[in-house]
């Protein structure tokens, strides 16, 4: 494939010239600005219904996973941990792929733009939502796609994750009913090159996981370039390597509203943690569990496209390789989940306290110099906590890795608090300090200065006034046959 091939060459060249890793990762200007006329992307999922009825049905059935669960209301500590950042306003657990467009429109984090130039979020926020993204990148070039505010893409990015996100739907193979898997996002192809998994040279099995790495990964927006999406894999995909990379380029997503620490928001390093877990090491891919081969009524084997919880399809997933009963394996996994949750909560408690203690230290007149090391320890502790929390399914994919990451996070949190205790003592602050009541989301929002009612009212207005314009544009342009569900 042209895209991956070109970026592979560039990486090779960079290695040959012994460039530093941070230089090596950057796409060239030519790469960023050039549209790719050879890449034709049919993003309209509805058009595949008649030719591929079984795959289409499975894909549509992801709509059945429709529950919206607020992680903030379940665990108000998150509101403090993400203080000053959009995630403190709203963060829901993942649900079916069918809802990506609906959910990114509805979530408070994307705010309430009034036109295509108002914020708060950049275009990059669309990047894991569906096949209109690679379509636009191919048509416009990367730099033009990433330019400007999120609202700019509202009328164009309207199909939820679909066929063309994973398949070369214009290929001869696909026309013959073969998978023809493909990576259509250039930044993903580049990232896979860097970890030695160049897509076009990959095994069938690596490809089956790589398509999920389009989105289920850690990434950041590169403000130094076009606010484009970059995966921080230049030194490795484990928690230490990515932290080291971020520290070296002095990247931070935001400054915490209490502690002023330069924070990292981990996204969802599902692919990375899976790679390091038992199944990843044994070549058992995402698709083996989340998209098993099943037999249709006509006796023909096909791939189940209802991506969800593999336990709902036990006979075709775990059972293929394991003799244990569903109950036994379920218990193993739910025990892992519980063990992880227990220690994760302890880490959250430590970091929440550290943020309040840092605020108390600033209030008492602490200096930048006195605070520097403590803030760095908070940054590292929370990066580690978030790496484990945001690795969805991490308790299944790599429980041992997740426990190790949390343990190292606890070490950093203790370090932060020990340093803060000294600063507080130096400034005559009595310890323990008073920690405010954050036992419910409402209380935590108040403590953190989030006016949640106002956020919700603004969003309602946006959904009523702006979104219908987007839908109208997309229908008229023939990008969709039906508008995305409102909820």
Q: Residue 180 in contact with residue 163, Cβ under 8 Å?
A: no
Answer yes or no whether residue 332 interacts with ligand HEC by CB under 6 A: yes
In the three-class reduction of DSSP (H, G, I as helix; E, B as strand; rest coil), residue 294 is classed as: strand
By CB under 6 A, the count of residues binding ligand HEC is: 71
Considering only 3, 8, 88, 97, the residue that binds ligand HEC (CB under 6 A) is 97
At CB < 8 A and 24+ separation, what contacts does 201-205 make?
Answer: 205/283, 205/285
The span from the CA of 337 to the CA of 393, in Å, is 9
Asked if 309 interacts with ligand HEC (CB under 6 A), we say: yes
Rounded to whole angstroms, the Cα distance separating 215 from 469 reads: 28
Local structure of residue 277 (DSSP, 8 states): S
Q: Is 63 a binder of ligand HEC (CB under 6 A)?
A: no
* Lookup: tokens for 259: 């502690």
The one among 211, 263, 374, 381 contacting ligand HEC by CB under 6 A? 211
The residues in 221-260 that bind ligand HEC, with binding defined as CB under 6 A, are none
Binding of ligand HEC by 75 (CB under 6 A): no
By CB under 6 A, name the one of 109, 135, 305, 459 that touches ligand HEC: 305
The phi-psi region of residue 236 (left if phi > 0; otherwise alpha if psi is between -120 and 50; otherwise beta) is left
CA distance 87 to 265: 9
As measured in angstroms, the least distance from the Cβ of 307 to ligand HEC is 5
Please say whether the dihedral angle defined by the alpha carbons of residues 362, 85, 350 and 438, taken in this order, is positive or negative: positive
CB of 106 to ligand HEC, least distance (A): 9
Give the one residue of 6, 7, 36, 45 binding ligand HEC; rule: CB under 6 A.
Answer: 45
Task: Quote the CA–CA distance of 286 and 309 in Å, as a whole number.
Answer: 11
Contacts of 262 (CB under 8 A, 6+ apart): 250, 252, 255, 375, 379
Query: From the list 138, 307, 375, 424, which residue makes contact with ligand HEC (rule: CB under 6 A)?
Result: 307
Residues 142, 165, 348, 386: which binds ligand HEC (CB under 6 A)?
165
Q: Does 321 bind ligand HEC (CB under 6 A)?
A: yes
Minimum distance from CB of 67 to ligand HEC (Å)? 8
Cβ 193 to ligand HEC shortest distance, Å: 18
Shortest distance in whole angstroms from residue 324 CB to ligand HEC: 8
Residue of minimal Cβ distance to ligand HEC: 393
- Subset of 256-285 contacting ligand HEC (CB under 6 A): 270-271, 274, 277-279, 282, 284-285
CB 414 within 8 A of CB 355: no
CB atoms near residue 107 (< 10 Å):
19
Q: Does 214 bind ligand HEC (CB under 6 A)?
A: yes
DSSP string for 383-432: HHHHHHHHSTTHHHH-HHHHHHHHHHHHHHHHHHHHHHHHHHHHTT--SS
Q: Does 135 bind ligand HEC (CB under 6 A)?
A: no
Please report, as residue ranges, which positions from 398 to 457 form the binding site for ligand HEC (by CB under 6 A): 399
CA-nearest of 197, 166, 226 to 31 is 226
Identify residues 115-134 at the interface with ligand HEC (CB under 6 A).
128
Stretch that binds ligand HEC, among 108-116, 228-236, 332-340, 363-371 (CB under 6 A): 332-340
76 binds ligand HEC (CB under 6 A): no
Task: Please state, in angstroms and rounded to a whole number, the distance separating the CA atoms of residues 40 and 240.
Answer: 39
Q: Which stretch binds ligand HEC (CB under 6 A): 10-18, 177-185, 243-251, 347-355?
A: 177-185
Q: Which is nearer to ligand HEC, 55 or 350 (CB)?
A: 55
**153 versus 393: smaller Cβ distance to ligand HEC:** 393
Residue selected from 163, 276, 360, 406 as contacting ligand HEC according to rule CB under 6 A: 163
Query: Interface with ligand HEC by CB under 6 A: which range of 13-21, 77-85, 171-179, 377-385?
Result: 171-179
Q: Can you tell me which of 121, 136, 212, 447 binds ligand HEC, judged by CB under 6 A?
A: 212
Q: CA 118 → CA 40, 105, 224, 469, distances in Å?
A: 30, 14, 21, 15
Angle at Cα 61 formed by Cα 56 and Cα 64, nearest 5°?
Answer: 165
Q: Specify binding-site residues for substrate.
A: 219, 268
């Amino acid at each position: 494939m042209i895209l991956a091939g070109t970026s592979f060459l560039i990486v090779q060249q960079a290695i040959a010239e012994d460039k530093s890793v941070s230089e090596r990762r950057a796409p060239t200007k030519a790469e960023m600005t050039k549209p790719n006329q050879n890449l034709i992307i049919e993003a309209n999922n509805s058009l595949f219904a008649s030719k591929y009825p079984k795959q289409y049905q499975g894909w549509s059935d992801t709509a059945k996973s429709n529950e919206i669960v607020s992680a903030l209301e379940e665990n108000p500590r998150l509101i403090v941990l993400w203080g000053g950042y959009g995630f403190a306003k709203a963060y829901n657990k993942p649900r079916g792929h069918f809802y990506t467009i609906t959910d990114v429109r509805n979530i408070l984090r994307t705010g309430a733009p009034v036109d295509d130039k108002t914020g708060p979020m950049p275009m990059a926020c669309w990047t894991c939502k569906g096949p209109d993204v690679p379509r636009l990148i191919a048509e416009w070039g990367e730099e033009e796609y990433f330019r400007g505010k999120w609202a700019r893409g509202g009328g164009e990015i309207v199909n939820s994750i679909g066929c063309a996100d994973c398949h070369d739907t214009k290929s001869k193979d696909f026309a013959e009913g073969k998978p023809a898997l493909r990576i259509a996002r250039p930044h993903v192809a580049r990232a896979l090159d860097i970890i030695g998994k160049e897509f076009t040279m990959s095994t069938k099995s690596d490809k089956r996981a790589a398509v999920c790495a389009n989105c289920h990964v850690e990434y950041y927006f590169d403000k130094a370039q076009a606010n484009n999406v970059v995966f921080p894999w230049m030194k490795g995909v484990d928690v230490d390597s990515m932290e080291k990379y971020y520290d070296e380029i002095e990247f931070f997503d935001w400054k915490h509203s209490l502690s002023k620490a330069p924070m990292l928001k981990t996204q969802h390093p599902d692919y990375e943690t899976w790679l390091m877990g038992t199944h990843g090491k044994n070549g058992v891919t995402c698709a083996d569990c989340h998209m098993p081969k099943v037999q249709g009524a006509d006796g023909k084997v096909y791939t189940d496209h209802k991506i969800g919880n593999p336990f709902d399809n036990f006979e075709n997933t775990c059972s293929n390789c394991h003799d244990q009963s569903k109950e036994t394996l379920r218990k193993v996994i739910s025990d892992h989940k519980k063990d992880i949750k227990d220690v994760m909560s302890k880490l959250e408690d430590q970091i929440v306290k550290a943020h309040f203690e840092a605020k108390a230290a600033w209030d008492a007149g602490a200096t930048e110099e006195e605070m520097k090391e403590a803030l760095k320890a908070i940054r590292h502790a929370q990066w580690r906590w978030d790496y484990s929390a945001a690795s969805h399914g991490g308790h299944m994919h790599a429980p041992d890795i997740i426990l190790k990451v949390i343990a190292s996070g606890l070490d950093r949190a203790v370090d932060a608090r020990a340093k803060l205790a000294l600063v507080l003592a130096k400034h005559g602050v009595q310890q323990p300090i008073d920690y405010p009541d954050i036992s419910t989301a409402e209380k935590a929002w108040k403590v953190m200065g989030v006016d949640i009612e106002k956020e919700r009212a603004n969003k309602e207005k946006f959904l009523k006034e702006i979104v219908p314009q987007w839908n109208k544009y997309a229908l008229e342009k023939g990008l969709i046959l039906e508008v995305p569900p409102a909820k």
